[in-house]
Structure 1
Amino acid sequence: MARTATQARESGGSALLSIGQVLARLNPEFPDLSPSKLRFLEERQLVTPARTESGYRKFSSADLDRLRFVLTMQRDHYLPLKVIRGYLDDMDAGRQPSLPGGATPAASMLSTEKRRSRDELIREAGATVMLFNDAISASLILPAELFGEDALQVLRSLVELQKSGIEPRHLRGFRAAAERELGLIESALIPVARRKDASSRAKAAELAREIAGQLEVVRGSIIRSALSKL
């Protein structure tokens, strides 16, 4: 049942945010987030903002953390919304669930992802400036002002691969393979993408993440099968 803005304010103890204020806070981390995407997440019961007497949505700080978690799980781990919702439902019920692949420990469910400068990223990964630059040149890490956990994991992996003589230039094909997979996903989305309404765009984005997750499962299986023959 939807909360009123007064109930949310009394339970949360902090000022409530409008859709515009939520976007202002989250867009630096999630540039694709839009009002239609927020409404789509509400329709899927991932977040339940309060409502004013006039029907306007108002978000608490807990709602903001919940949204950041959902968006991070989609972006960094390609988890379908139904999986994320099941995880959140278990957490709300007081259980201690785990996400597929151990994506995020339950204890840190709604933590804010740390964003790092280039120098911080290089230092935390134990990399060199040359390795970082090579990773950018090979399109293994995309240029940015700030970098998240995904970039850190990639750079750490490149540090370890370098110890075995595998350099970023050897992995240029990874970007080409990713672009081929993107072509498959775009083809699969054509029936949904033809509908131009906001709800359909949000559904297309969610379906794209689900397909990407399934492709990741197939790719992992192929690699494991090949390794077993070595």
Structure 2
Amino acid sequence: MAAAPNARRSSEPIVADATAPVLGIGQVLAKLSTEFPELTPSKLRFLEERGLVHPARTPSGYRKFSQNDLSRLKLILGLQRDCYLPLAVIKDYLADVDAGLNPPMPGAALPGGPSLLQTGRRLSRDELTREAGATPMLVQDAFSSHVLVPADSYGEESLVVLKALVELQRSGIEPRHLRGFRQATERELGLIESALMPVARRRDPSSRAKAAELAREIAGQLEVVRSSLIRSALGRIAP
């Protein structure tokens, strides 16, 4: 008897459907926690509430994520971690992608900004030093001045900062001259903590996730103001 026209031959490989919702929240955390240790169930639910991910639901109401959902989560979390982008910006970018457009990667066009093609890449201290074109002494000075934080491995942001320190050193600006930046950062942190107080008082997981995202958004707006002030000041000293 002849095989049906659509029957799969036994020698043909089975191709997994990347859109099939097969992963529960625990499985998603297991796959992503190494790269994104801050990811929690409440964070996943918060991203869904904000409309960035759309997991399927079982008849019992359990969330199920596909491989495509997993890739989308990695992109969202990478953009947050490496480019400090607020969720509103990431959501607009994803909406354009979902609409079939080809928008530029947010954050990739920023001068000296990390390449999203390398999101998640981790470097040893020696690799960081070599790729930035820095000397071990400069790296140690950056640690001593609290411009960089010693760690087991370093991401793209640390590489961008160290490259900037290399260029600043060529102009006679050493890491020790930037200690005031750390003090200004602590003051900004105080502003953010004060703004988050109403949300931080709530102890439920959803509120903690909202507080973390609001902190990122406030930090992003403070960066806009700081950059504007610097550009205005440059206008006074430019020849």
Specify if TM > 0.5.
yes
How far the C-alpha of 1:113 sits from its partner, in A, is 2.5
Taking only aligned residues, the RMSD between alpha carbons, in angstroms, comes to 2.4
Greater shift in the superposed pair: 212-221 or 67-76: 67-76
Q: 1:23 corresponds to which residue?
A: 29
Structure 2 CA distance for partners of 1:101 and 1:118, relative to 1, 3 Å: closer
| Residues in 1 aligned to 2:129 and 2:156: alpha-carbon distance in whole angstroms | 12
**Radius of gyration: which is bigger?**
2
Q: 1 CA distance for matches of 2:150 and 2:25?
A: 29
Q: How far has the Cα of 1:27 moved from its partner? A: 2.6
Other-structure match for 1:168? 175
Which of 174, 180, 188 is 1:181 aligned to? 188
Aligned equivalent of 1:76: 82
- Measured at CA, do residues 181 and 41 of structure 1 come closer, stay the same or move farther in structure 2, by a change above 3 Å? same
Q: Residues 48-100 of structure 1: CA distance to partner in whole angstroms, max 9, x if unpaired?
A: 22334443323233222211221222223332212111100101111122336
Task: Report which stretch shifted further, 138-147 or 214-223.
Answer: 138-147
Matched residue, 1:215: 222
TM-score under structure 1 normalisation? 0.86
1:44 aligned partner: 50
**Percent pairwise identity:** 66
Cα distance, 1:169 vs structure 2: 1.0
Number of residue equivalences: 219
Of the three residues 35, 58, 69, the one matched with 1:63 is 69
Q: CA deviation at 1:223?
A: 0.6
Unmatched tracts of structure 2, length 5 or more:
1-14
Query: In structure 2, which of residues 110, 115, 126 is the aligned counterpart of residue 119 of structure 1?
Result: 126
CA deviation string 1:111-160 (max 9, x = no partner): 64211111111111111111111111111111211111100000100111
Counterpart residue number, 1:6 = none
Q: Structure 1 or 2: larger helix share?
A: 1
State the shift of 1:28 in Å.
3.0
Q: Distance in 2 between matches of 1:146 and 1:62?
A: 28
What SS does the aligned partner of 1:11 have? coil
1:34 and 2:40 aligned: yes
Note the 1:135-150 alignment, pairs <5 A: 135-150=142-157
Contact 1:65 1:112 in 2 (8 A): no
CA distance in 2, matches of 1:111, 1:163: 27
